[in-house]
Structure 1
Amino acid sequence: MEEGSDYRPWDELIPDALGLIFSNLSLQEKLTVIPRVCKSWGKVVMGPYCWQEIDIEEWSKRCQPEHLDRMLPMLITRSRGSLRKLCVSGLHSEEIFTFIAENAGSLQTLRLRRSEMSDSMVEQFAGRLSMITFLDVSYCGNIGARALEAIGKNCKLLVGLCRNLHPVDTAGKPLEDDEAYAIASTMPKLKHLEMAYHLISTPSVVEILSSCPELEFLDLRGCWDVKFDERFLMERFPKLKVLGPNVIDYYEKYDWDDCSDSSDAFEYLAWEFMAGEMGDFDEDDDDSYYGMWDDEGRLEELELRFYEGIDEDAGPYDWPPSP
């Protein structure tokens, strides 16, 4: 190469480096643009370098179920056993859960919000999730204490659990402490726990605090029957941050600029995927949302993570006014 030349041999970068670069691109770009640039780039996006972390949660909330059933196995297969993080929403078939479990040997972070797995399915596959350190099963209405107990007994490295419920699903129902006691009895290493809008009582929460000595953050928003004296918490658990149980209404503005895949991109991706343009590449071919009013009507700044990812198009998951 001549000295001072602007030429850079991008196609000669090692796959690891290219994969690191491509991981910053959108799902659509990795699947439809990069493979068409050159053979070496196409091989990279076909290999595990780009798919050690798979986050298609936003896309999966808007795609058709049959598109998700085809997309997710394809991406997981590309990871070739190196998958460390998976974020997806609305899984519904036992085949998909089986496929995830069979490829979870290196999985550490797993988000399965609004998915339809059952207690028996979780009990069946929990043994294959032994490396999980963070799990999000929020708004999964078909699981309960049995599933959480199976997770706790098999996922010994678990330090973070999100098990938030939707207030519409729990309104008017009696107290149910079984999930809280399942967490307390099987997850002693928890540092981060979210249980917003659970129908739990103060004794069950005390049991969690006593059984999880490393707990640093506890989300109890909407858990109206939990009553704590602030001085008691500060004296007994000085390192613990508790959010809730009181919730104050506010409106969240969803920032589409933070999402690299626009709605048009989602539609294009689904169309092209179904048209067969995303088949395997043949090498022979050429967190913070702000804005709350305090009790005196003054505007405070408080980070609200519970509502993360919910937008005006979320349909039945729009948040109702707090009690």
Structure 2
Amino acid sequence: EVRPSADWADLPIDALLSVLQYLETIELMVGGAGRVCRSWRRAIRNEPELWRRIDMRIHKYHNYRIDEGMAKEAVRRGSGRCESFWGEDATDHFLLFLTEQAPSLKSLRLISSKHITNEGLLAALNKFPVLEELELSLCKHVFGKVYEGIGIACPRLKCLKVSYPCFYSIEDIEYNKDEEALGIATMFVLRSLQLFGSELTNAGLATILDNCPHLVYLDVRHCFNIHMDITLRAKCAGIKTMKLPHGSTDDYEFQIENPVRTRARKPRRDYKPYV
């Protein structure tokens, strides 16, 4: 154990928590802060305040392997006070655990979680009644009518982010490209919406705009079935920030695949980039 200076070892708990809150979750879990002294180690293990916001994403500059066990331990340390969880490669089983350990969750951000299903997600969201922010990026088995269920389960939802690895559109007049949009239109208090690479059409977006009057941020980049005509632009008049289908993707955080249009009725979840 490294012997710290008296100033660091004897910090009042409020001051100590202020220092430790600047560290990322993974650093608190396996980094060097817990080896500074007993008081720091005790605070990291026993102070739920440090675990209200948990970020278990896999960062390129970390050499740590983040697994479900580590994520569960972080949530447990919150002692039921966790309000925000951000992670990758989550599962239905983990979401069930999260409902039991973090009933007051307000923000849930899931990245590349191919093992989460429509059924598992809805089962969890029905137990997060105060959820205000939801991200589903590159979650290949979450699609379609599930968004209507999300609107019912989360009546306070203000921010929704959905990202697909590419724009993938089925060119079939009998295929409903706006199924997800119709579900999102039930989220009446939504203020921020990102649909990156969605196949929704003008009709779907118009339905969202008609039913979500509080929207101030809209990102529909790579939604190439949308054509901003006069009618649609008029409906967007109250939106402060808009990112249009052909807008710059310089600030987009994920890899982007080339757009695909097909006449085959091949479900989105089976498309190669999602494997």
**Interval of TM-score (by shorter of Structure 1 and Structure 2):** 0.7 to 0.9
Structure 2 counterpart of 1:275: none
Specify every segment of 5 or more residues in structure 1 that has no aligned partner in the other structure, as ranges: 1-6, 251-288, 290-303, 311-317
> d(CA) in 2 for partners of 1:231 and 1:144?
28
TM-score, structure 2 as length reference: 0.80
Number of matched pairs: 250
Tell me if 1:75 matches 2:74.
yes
> d(CA) in 1 for partners of 2:144 and 2:220?
18
1:1-323 map, 5 Å: 9-27=7-25, 29-30=27-28, 31-47=30-46, 48-59=48-59, 67-91=66-90, 93-115=91-113, 116-167=115-166, 170=168, 176-184=177-185, 186-229=186-229, 233-234=233-234, 237-247=237-247, 304=251, 307-308=252-253, 310=254, 318-321=255-258
What is the DSSP-based 3-state SS (H/G/I as helix, E as strand, rest coil) of the residue aligned with 1:58? coil
Read off the aligned partner of 1:196 and give its amino acid letter.
Answer: F
Task: Report if the CA contact (8 A) 1:190-1:214 is conserved.
Answer: yes
Shift of 1:126: 1.5
Task: Report if the CA contact (8 A) 2:105-2:131 is conserved.
Answer: yes
> d(CA) in 1 for partners of 2:156 and 2:203?
26
Structure 1 stretch displaced more, 72-81 or 100-109:
100-109
Shift of 1:45: 0.4
Shift of 1:129: 1.3
CA distance 1:146–1:231, change in 2 (3 Å): closer
Structure of higher CA gyration radius = 1
Read off the aligned partner of 1:102 and give its amino acid letter.
Answer: E
> d(CA) in 2 for partners of 1:222 and 1:62?
31
Structure 1 stretch displaced more, 15-24 or 108-117:
15-24
> d(CA) in 2 for partners of 1:180 and 1:26?
35
Shift of 1:123: 2.2
Shift of 1:19: 2.1
> d(CA) in 2 for partners of 1:64 and 1:146?
37
> d(CA) in 2 for partners of 1:62 and 1:173?
43
What is the DSSP-based 3-state SS (H/G/I as helix, E as strand, rest coil) of the residue aligned with 2:196? coil
CA distance 1:15–1:155, change in 2 (3 Å): farther
Shift of 1:51: 1.3
Shift of 1:234: 4.7
Structure 1 or 2: more strand by fraction: 2
CA distance 1:50–1:17, change in 2 (3 Å): same
What is the DSSP-based 3-state SS (H/G/I as helix, E as strand, rest coil) of the residue aligned with 1:24? coil
* CA RMSD, 1 decimal: 2.7
CA distance 1:106–1:68, change in 2 (3 Å): same
Structure 1 stretch displaced more, 23-32 or 229-238:
229-238
C-alpha offsets along residues 102-128 of structure 1, whole Å, 9 cap, x if unaligned? 223221111101112111112212111
